[in-house]
Amino acid sequence: MKYIIGIGGVTNGGKTTLTNKLIKTLPNCCVVHQDDFFKKPDHIQVGEDGFKQWDVITALDMEAMTNTIKGWMENPVKFARSHGVALSPVPAVASSEEQVHILIVEGFLLYNYAPLLEAFDKCYYISIPYEDCKRRRSTRQYTVPDPPGLFDGHVWPMYQKHRRQMEDSGLNIEYLDGVKSKEDLYNQVYQDIQNNLLNRL
């Protein structure tokens, strides 16, 4: 069985932190990070506001990301091996359908790209309030540092716009409170995944 989990949410909401905890405990679990598909800085458009438009879907090579996910869907064993993910031994009696393979797709604009929406078996979305987000973001180092005013001028307004768009899409999303402790968030999601997997077997 193949199972694809989306961990979307606001910048600095804790997506990577949660993902890194889950991949340590979920069996046969690979990960795709949307951040790995940002285009090079000279391919990022500059808006009328003067800011490089990092927080829009065209800043990402979504086709390449989709192809990476398709690669996992076609052959999760090969994908895991080529990404250095250890697989559980397959019992001699098991068929390939009995073996569970999990893919976590993590990123801030996961649910705003129509071709990917139906890939997800389960969609999580982490939110935190404006003040927490601004504070966490202020200490974060990206490959290209935030220029002054980017958060209020571009990052937060784009987050609000994309979130509304996602809510209007009718996708079935489980919202997570990113202000909860890292441990509580992990326990909540791990338990939910276990229950969902058991229901499918």
Ligand X SMILES: Nc1ncnc2c1ncn2[C@@H]1O[C@H](COP(=O)(O)OP(=O)(O)O)[C@@H](O)[C@H]1O
Ligand Y SMILES: NC(=O)c1ccc[n+]([C@@H]2O[C@H](COP(=O)(O)O)[C@@H](O)[C@H]2O)c1
- Complex with ligand Y: residue 94 or 144, whichever CB lies closer: 144
Is residue 26 within 8 Å of 141, Cβ to Cβ? no
Active site residue 35: yes
CA distances from 38 to 62, 67, 85, 98, 145 (A): 9, 15, 23, 35, 14
- Complex with ligand Y: residue 39 or 122, whichever CB lies closer: 39
Distance (Å, rounded) from C-alpha 72 to C-alpha 69? Answer: 5
Using rule CB under 6 A, residue 17 touches ligand X: yes
- Complex with ligand X: residue 12 or 28, whichever CB lies closer: 12
What does the binding site for ligand Y look like in residue numbers (CB under 6 A)?
11-12, 35, 38, 54-55, 108, 142-144, 155
CB count in 10 Å sphere of residue 97: 9
Is residue 33 within 8 Å of 16, Cβ to Cβ? yes
Shortest approach of ligand X to residue 98 CB, angstroms?
33
- Give me the residues that bind ligand X (CB under 6 A), please: 9, 11-17, 136, 178, 180-182, 185
Residues assigned a catalytic role:
35
